[in-house]
Amino acid sequence: MLVCSSAMAIASPSQSPPQSHLRLSLALPIHRRRRAAVFRPPSWRLSARPRLSASSHLNPFNTPNNPSETPYELQHELPPPPRRSGSPVYVALPVDAVSGSGEIKRRKAMVYSMRALATVGVEGVVMEVWWGLVERERPLEYEWREYLEIVALARSFGLKVRAVMAFHQRGVQGDRVWIPLPQWVRQEMDDEPDLAYSDRFGRRSTEYVSLGCDILPVLKGRSPIQAYSDFMRNFRDTFKDFLGVTITGIQVGMGPAGELRYPSCPSQKLTWSWRFRELGEFQCYDKYMLASLNACAREMGMREWGNGGPLGAWNLMQNHEETEFFRSGGSWNTPYGRFFLEWYSEMLLLHGERLCMEAVTIFQGSGVGISAKLAGLHWHYGTESHPCELTAGYYNTSIRDGYLPIACMFRRYGINMCCACLEMLDEEEKRTNPLSSPEGLLRQIMLAANKFRLPLEGENSAARFNDESLNQVLKMSKFYSGGHDGLLFSFNFMRMGQSLFDFHNWARFTQFVRQMQDDNNLAATRDFGRAELRAFSCGAEKVGSMYVYT
């Protein structure tokens, strides 16, 4: 039976609601491997495990003004940029690097690609490890062979690996790349549809198992959290000889697209839905989420608040100002709105905290850094209510910072933060959507990470090689990392493909990698002339003919 914590309270209309904190008491230390500052050629081999360094200093809970005990106030400026060494660049492997039949696709091309990446100084690769491929047929039966081959290949070229525990679905049936949840999980969802998220129209999302049943034995006797933990534990045992040496990072998938959020909008639409100003839908209508909401409402003595999510967004594509809930001065800022949004976001935080606890327990002492990813939902950032963030579970508005509690939770467990949209420019986005502000959103997320001294992993939302986009990534990386405070920043380039190895793109990417690693180069890259293209081509002529990624 799902119950609401007594800490989840809401004030009467005459008083402001208190801050609620759903906390788990266990906080485990995590060790991270120090990054080598020099690039090693492909012939380099590791002979010993790296030194480990605890991140127990800079603990915000030992400071006089504990940020976790203050309201989630908005902050508007970053501190003076510190100075430190450059930022490493990783490149994500093709999403279908391992095929649905369990084979490495385009094996020869991957060998050539990794060799090229190592040659130009890329730090490593990002490898998505799909739950739906590894534990496909039956529970607790894992097949890691292809991923072991990829890690061994990366090691042969001196590349590091960041492994993403991908507990979500990729694409939809009929897409060129469709990686569903494990077959046995889908069968459970067919038998019990409430394992999937649902909106008020009854539309169900099979991208990720509903967090409402996190700790219930609904997956053939195991809870979803147990299933994720067993998967990570088996990964640890299988790859133990690589951990802390070749595999230096683990990103824990926490929701659709691997991001800590609700599937308020289908993930395959997130690359373009901002153009249509889609509001998203609250995902709280499966019976497990409704049971939790109802219990909280009863505890508050407001039973009528527990029957479902807010009404007022009658059309996902309509102007938010035409809705009762999201408009300026709408019901999002009433006692009921604050109650619902607090419950909705706290449920997401609790889900993230459970996964943080499990990951830290499993990988402690292994020498890997652990990270989690946030979504870059920027297309209503210029409004008061931030509709698309609210429906995704981020209680972030013009009067409340929704990213501070997430950063606080990550800091408590020693989890690095990952965020996307680093290449996006307000000037460009506002041409089609004046309410959008990717730079404003990213600045706020960076402020939250900075407040809790979190290492930050940046990503681009799309593979773009124009000077403006690469300059923007350089600017944001220096904005966060360049300083005496030693804030760590790294960048995951999304992703390896045919366009990366185009002659001109490869030249720009090579220069970009060098500038990211150069701690003395604070200027962004300029337009390349013909001479620079020749100088930095690094064999792009061969690359263009060899690589066949599509």
Cα–Cα nearest to 90, from 414, 451, 473, 442? 473
- 259 annotated active-site: yes
Alpha carbons 229 and 237: distance in angstroms, whole number: 12
My answer on whether omega of the bond before 495 falls inside 30° of 0, hence cis, is yes
Instruction: Please tell me the distance from the alpha carbon of residue 386 to that of residue 135, in angstroms, as a whole number.
Output: 38
What is the rounded CA–CA span in Å between residue 58 and residue 403? 19
Contact 327, 385 (CB under 8 A): yes
Query: Hunting for tokens 């593979």 — which residue is that?
Result: 463
Q: CB–CB of 310/340 below 8 Å? A: yes
Q: How deeply is 131 buried, as exposed, middle or buried, from its count of CB atoms within 10 A (0-12, 13-18, 19+)?
A: buried
Q: Is 459 a catalytic site residue?
A: yes
User: In this structure, what are the phi and psi dihedrals at residue 372, rounded to the nearest 5 degrees?
Assistant: -140, 150
Q: Decide if 360 contacts 413 (C-beta within 8 A).
A: yes
Catalytic residue among 128, 207, 259, 423: 259
Q: Decide: 89 and 131 in contact? Cβ < 8 Å.
A: no
User: Over the Cα atoms of the chain, what is R_g?
Assistant: 23
**Residue 113 and residue 296: Cα distance in Å, rounded?**
53
Q: Among candidates 334, 349, 330, 385, which has minimal Cα distance to 17?
A: 334
CA distances (Å), origin 35, targets 14, 32, 38, 51, 244? 53, 9, 9, 10, 11
Q: Which of the following is catalytic: 135, 346, 457, 459?
A: 459
What lies within 8 Å, CB to CB, of 281 at 6+ separation is 199, 200, 201, 203, 264, 265, 313, 316, 391
**Positions marked catalytic:** 259, 459
